């Protein structure tokens, strides 16, 4: 297939591109490199076609969708705290950008559009599971943007007959996730701090729980969704069903690193839910999704990658 991956120079994007190329697909990447350009050499080395463009600029990206079979739309201004600090930029990337990518896909006759959404569309719950059909009230602009993008995807499927699938990712982690950038993911951040001899920064009491999901499991399901007819028009949670607290995460990182780690507890972040427990029955039913990598193994693989990249 001819595939296009928006946000393909990022953490999840490069892992997805690598697997698509390994499976024999031709891959074009659109990324504005606003977070980092550290993966540019890697993408070129595996034969991906990298186009440095911003999805918020429709005229700049439209022609790049010509002769594309499948679009994987990952590009976003992610992280809740970034969106709280700069809601206008979040709106431009996550709502206008998604609309631009959808319109370019429609105009150029793309056969399948895989939209990557987020557990951030949920407000979080204390009891029960987060299911795809429950009422939604995102607690921050990032979640609102992702939900608006989901509605645009639905409209393009219903009005324009674009074959779409929306995947809601939950707390993805693994190799190539940067821990030294602003608002880094907690696992990457912990590994970076631990490897640098600095205390782990834990917001709140550390008892907040997440469905941390290893990157290879996410990538395999994402690719599978691109050729399954029964997934078309659906919204599907993508998560490891096991919940893990931030305190437990810190203990596992300490065990894998192999030395005691200092912890520093900070004020709880606004908009940070206590739990995001995922209902993954739909992913299992439609796509046969059963995560293969357990939590400690995933941390071990991530630490091993981080160590191999240190100078």
**248: Cα within 13 Å, side-chain hemisphere:** 12
For residue 274, count other CB atoms closer than 10 A to its CB.
14
Residues 6 or more apart whose CB falls under 8 angstroms from that of 82 comprise 89, 90, 142, 182, 183
C-alpha angle with apex 248: 245 to 250, nearest 5 degrees?
110
Beta bridge partner(s), residue 172? 213
Please give the structure tokens belonging to residue 18: 């690598």
Residue 89: CB atoms within 10 A of its CB come to: 15
Residue 48 in tokens: 């991906």
**Cβ atoms of 83 and 48 closer than 8 Å:** no
**Contact present, 206 and 264 (Cβ < 8 Å):** no
CA torsion 73→178→25→168, rounded to 10°?
A: -40
Residue 142 is among the residues annotated as catalytic for this protein: yes
Choose, from 122, 142, 152, 156, the residue flagged as catalytic: 142
Alpha helices, DSSP H only, in the chain? 11-22, 40-45, 58-61, 80-85, 87-91, 97-107, 141-160, 186-195, 215-224, 246-257, 281-287, 295-309
Q: Which residues are catalytic?
A: 142
């Amino acid at each position: 297939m001819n595939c296009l991956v928006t946000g393909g120079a990022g953490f999840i994007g490069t892992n997805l591109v690598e697997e698509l190329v390994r499976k024999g697909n031709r891959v074009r990447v659109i990324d504005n490199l606003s977070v980092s350009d550290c993966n540019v050499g890697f993408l070129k080395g595996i034969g991906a076609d990298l186009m440095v463009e911003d999805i918020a600029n429709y005229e700049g990206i439209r022609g790049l969708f010509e002769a594309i079979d499948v679009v994987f739309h990952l590009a976003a201004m992610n992280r809740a705290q970034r969106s709280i600090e700069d809601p206008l930029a979040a709106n431009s990337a996550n709502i206008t950008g998604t609309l631009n990518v959808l319109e370019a896909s429609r105009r150029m006759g793309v056969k399948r559009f895989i939209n990557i959404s987020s557990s951030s569309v949920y407000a979080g719950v204390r009891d029960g599971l987060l299911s795809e059909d429950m009422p939604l009230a995102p607690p921050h602009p990032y979640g609102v943007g992702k939900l608006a993008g989901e509605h645009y995807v639905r409209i393009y499927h219903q009005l324009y007959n674009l074959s779409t699938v929306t995947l809601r990712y939950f707390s993805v982690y693994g190799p190539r996730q940067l821990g030294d950038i602003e608002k880094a993911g907690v696992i990457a951040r912990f590994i970076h701090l631990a490897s640098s001899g600095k205390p782990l920064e834990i917001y709140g009491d550390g008892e907040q729980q997440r469905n941390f999901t290893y990157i290879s499991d996410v990538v395999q399901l994402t690719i599978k969704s691109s050729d399954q007819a029964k997934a078309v028009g659906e919204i599907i949670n993508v998560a490891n069903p096991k919940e893990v607290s931030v305190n437990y995460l810190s203990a596992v990182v300490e065990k894998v690193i192999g030395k005691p780690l200092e912890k520093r507890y900070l004020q709880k972040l606004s908009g940070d839910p206590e739990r995001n427990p995922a209902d993954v029955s739909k992913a299992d039913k439609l796509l046969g999704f059963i995560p293969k990598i357990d939590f400690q193994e995933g941390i071990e693989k991530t630490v091993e990658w981080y160590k191999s990249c240190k100078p």
